[in-house]
Structure 1
Amino acid sequence: MALFAFFSLAGAAVGDVVFQRGQLAFETESGGRITFEVEWAVTAEQRARGLMERPALPDRTGMLFDFGDSRMVTMWMANTPESLDMIFVDETGRIVRIAERTTPYSEAIVSSGEPVRYALEIRGGHAAELGLDPSARLVLPLDLPE
């Protein structure tokens, strides 16, 4: 049975949901590291709020969604004013899909394509600028808040 995560939270203001911050890294095929300062979206409420109504993200920042276990994930861009790259990562750290330059305010579904544990959202086009591609791996374990 596929589980789906839809990110909508009608009527909530951006300030209603609090996110803790941390850092994560991807290790490239050549042995380099690409690091990001992220907000952790680990609760259902945080995952529902996501980056809706946020201004453009600075370079090397984003939001990491942790679904707690592997599942099929679907996301959308409703109420999100800036294009994002959505990087879907399985429980081993393997990038299974990068949805590049998603369309702001779109309600079109963006699917992980296969079960994943994590999704990282960063500024649209930033993955390609940094050379982040499916050959890179998320460095695990993550130092997620409890």
Structure 2
Amino acid sequence: MLSKIRGVKGAVIVLLILALLAFVFSSIFNSTSSRKGSIKKPKSQVEKATEFTKEGELHILSTENDTVVSIDIELATDQYEIARGMMFRREMGDLEGMLFIMPTEQIQSFWMKNCYLSLDMIFADSKGIIGSAQTYTEPYSMKSLPSEKPSKYVLETKAGFWDKHQIKPGYKMVFNAL
């Protein structure tokens, strides 16, 4: 009788081990085949949230009201969008940006947590007048990057935008949402 119980217990253990091995091999096979492209995975929430979506246009005007540069923008207007910002973005076009519309005009401060790209941050007051910028920011940095003057708007662009377009304090941002 005892040998029968051992035999049944042994058989159960062997079956459990075989089932576990089948699961492991099936998981390995599925992940390998999806990497080869035979199975297309749906985009994750992070991937969807990191794609550029044109929500408006922004023009930077010189002190003589000449257009210096025009870009497509995404808007960050609520607490979630402002907190998330450009985190997890892996690419950005030369004429794309994110415009943060802050709830109040005050000294604004940003950091680069979870930001893969170096950015230029351009700060403007409630009239759109540019007061200062933080350029060539360091990706992943937790260092505070404040505006020099109270700001209502913050435009984030690819690093080098400020220099390339020779933007200066006193220039003006004008934007329209789609």
Work out whether the TM-score is over 0.5: yes
In the alignment, structure 1 segments of 5+ residues that lack a partner are 1-11
Q: Which residue in 2 is equivalent to 1:6?
A: none
> Comparing both chains, which one has the higher relative contact order based on Cα–Cα distances under 8 Å and sequence gaps of 6 or more?
1
Does structure 2 conserve the Cα–Cα contact (< 8 Å) formed by 1:97 and 1:112? yes
Q: Would the alpha carbon gap of residues 129 and 20 (structure 1) be closer, same or farther in structure 2, given more than 3 Å must change?
A: closer
Deviation at 1:73, TM superposition (A): 1.1
Q: Aligned with 2:91: secondary structure?
A: coil
Match of 1:70 among 95, 105, 109: 105
Residue 125 of structure 2 is aligned to residue 90 of structure 1: yes
Pair 1:143-2:176 in alignment: yes
- Aligned residue-pair number: 132
Is the 1:14–1:52 contact (alpha carbons within 8 Å) kept by the matching residues of 2? Answer: no
Q: Write out per-residue CA displacement over residues 32-83 of structure 1, whole angstroms, 9 at most, x where no aligned residue.
A: 3111101000011111111101013111111000013312211000100110
1:72–1:114 Cα contact (<8 Å) kept: yes
| Alignment-derived partner of residue 31 in structure 2 | none
2:138 to 65, 88, 103: 103
More off after superposition, 16-25 vs 105-114: 16-25
| Cα deviation, residue 144, structure 1 | 3.9
Decide which structure has the larger Cα Rg and report it. Answer: 2
Structure 1 counterpart of 2:56, from 7, 19, 22: 22
| CA deviation map 1:74-129 (0-9, x unaligned) | 10001001100000000111111111100011000000122110000000011110
Q: Output the CA distance in 2 between the equivalents of 1:56 and 1:97.
A: 24
Residue 14 (structure 1) shift: 4.8
Q: Is the 8 A contact 1:82 1:104 kept in 2?
A: yes
Aligned equivalents of 1:143 and 1:23: distance in 2?
6
TM-score, length-scaled by structure 2: 0.67
Q: Which has the higher helix share?
A: 2
Q: 1:13 corresponds to which letter in structure 2? A: V
Structure 1 position 114 matched with structure 2 position 149:
yes
- Percent identical residues: 29
State how 1:19-58 maps to structure 2 within 5 Å. Answer: 21-33=55-67, 34-58=69-93
Q: Greater CA deviation, 22-31 or 49-58?
A: 22-31
**What letter corresponds to residue 176 of structure 2 in structure 1?**
D
After superposition, the C-alpha distances for 1:11-49 in whole angstroms (9 at most, x for unaligned) are x73535896611011111354311110100001111111
What is the TM-score of this pair, normalised by structure 1?
A: 0.81
